[in-house]
Amino acid sequence: MYRLLFTLVFRHMDPEQAHGSAFALIRLAARVPVLRSVLRRLLTASEAGAVRALGRTFPAPFGLAAGFDKNAVGVAGLAMLGFGYVEIGTVTARPQPGNEPPRLWRMVDQEALRNRMGFNNEGSVAVAHRLRRLRSTSAGRDLVIGVNIGKTKLTPAADAADDYATSAERLAPYADYLVVNVSSPNTPGLRDLQSVESLRPILVATREAADEATTAAGRPAVPLLVKIAPDLSDEDVDAVADLVLELGLAGVVAVNTTIAHDLGPGGVSGPPLRERGLDVVARLRTRLGPDPVIIGVGGIMSPGDAREYLAVGATLIQGYTGFIYRGPFWASRINRALAADAAAVAIAGRASSGVGTGTATGDVRPGAR
């Protein structure tokens, strides 16, 4: 049904306009209590797929990547559709409009997207205010929310650490984890900050600001991760992994969009990323060892793609582009399949140990090695 709707309607709309219209419908549905309750009950995966990571229990391993909900305006509606968690952003210290449109293009033959959005968002003050209101409710506190932060375009590279720290101070009290995004291709010079020499002071300043903010709010320290590009060389991936271990960070989000194309400005997401994303996650897991969290993202369109990321070492996984091409029940299908995998593994484990079978619950990571 969704494929037909996409072909007949959404495909002929401007991509950014279609995104806005669809997101508005999701938010509207979430405001109707009966509809919200029914959809959540129908689309939420069983507890068998729950994952314990970053100090929280994630209801399911597959979440929504940053970029869809930049301003934290629809987290409840997105969770209603079966995402295990939602990463909002990218948020910058100051509000900014992003790049001039057109800035989002479909690559329908590959089920991919190209974007040069440029961190368009309302800024960290507005987003912090919205998250504070959300977290003031019991339902809002139950949601698992990551916050992705980036550099304000007008901020010089020399002042990047202070810029990230400002956002972290404002947003950390409301985040289950923070992601330092230094890998978008759509802010001039941003990817240069992935070099270890530039990245170290940014991560140190961000963590210090986040820790001070959470301590003042009476909250535990928020886990800090860094998001990297697929276009880094293997040696640079290793260098970032070593820095994560050196600083004791919580982990890495891998990967962002790629500039390895000849289609014009912007980064490509979706299936063209999958092979490199899997390679980077596998390399990170080998380099980092078993403990740091790796959130795998890039080209996940089906349960099989999700299983591949988990099998090579991802702790959690994310997607975005598949939402555009596969429709509103896409996340639910993936998380339900992973929960079924986890339940089957748990049942097999109890059977082999002579323990009676029953409903599988708890901290099972689907595809764990």
Residue 184 bears catalytic tag: yes
| 305 Cβ contact list (under 8 Å, min separation 6) | 274, 299
What is the Cβ-side half-sphere exposure of residue 303, based on CA atoms within 13 angstroms? 16
Q: Cα separation of 65 and 62, whole Å?
A: 9
Going by C-alpha positions, the residue among 145, 144, 82, 2 that lies closest to residue 339 is 82
The one catalytic residue in 124, 183, 184, 269 is 184
CA torsion through residues 361, 363, 368, 369, sign: negative
Q: Which two tokens stand for residue 147?
A: 């916050």
Instruction: Provide φ and ψ at 11, rounded to 5°.
Output: -60, -25
Give percent helix, percent strand, percent coil of the chain, each to the nearest 5. 50, 15, 35
Q: Which two tokens stand for residue 80?
A: 């209603």
Q: Is 84 exposed, middle or buried (0-12, 13-18, 19+ CB in 10 A)?
A: buried
Instruction: Give me the active site residues, please.
Output: 184
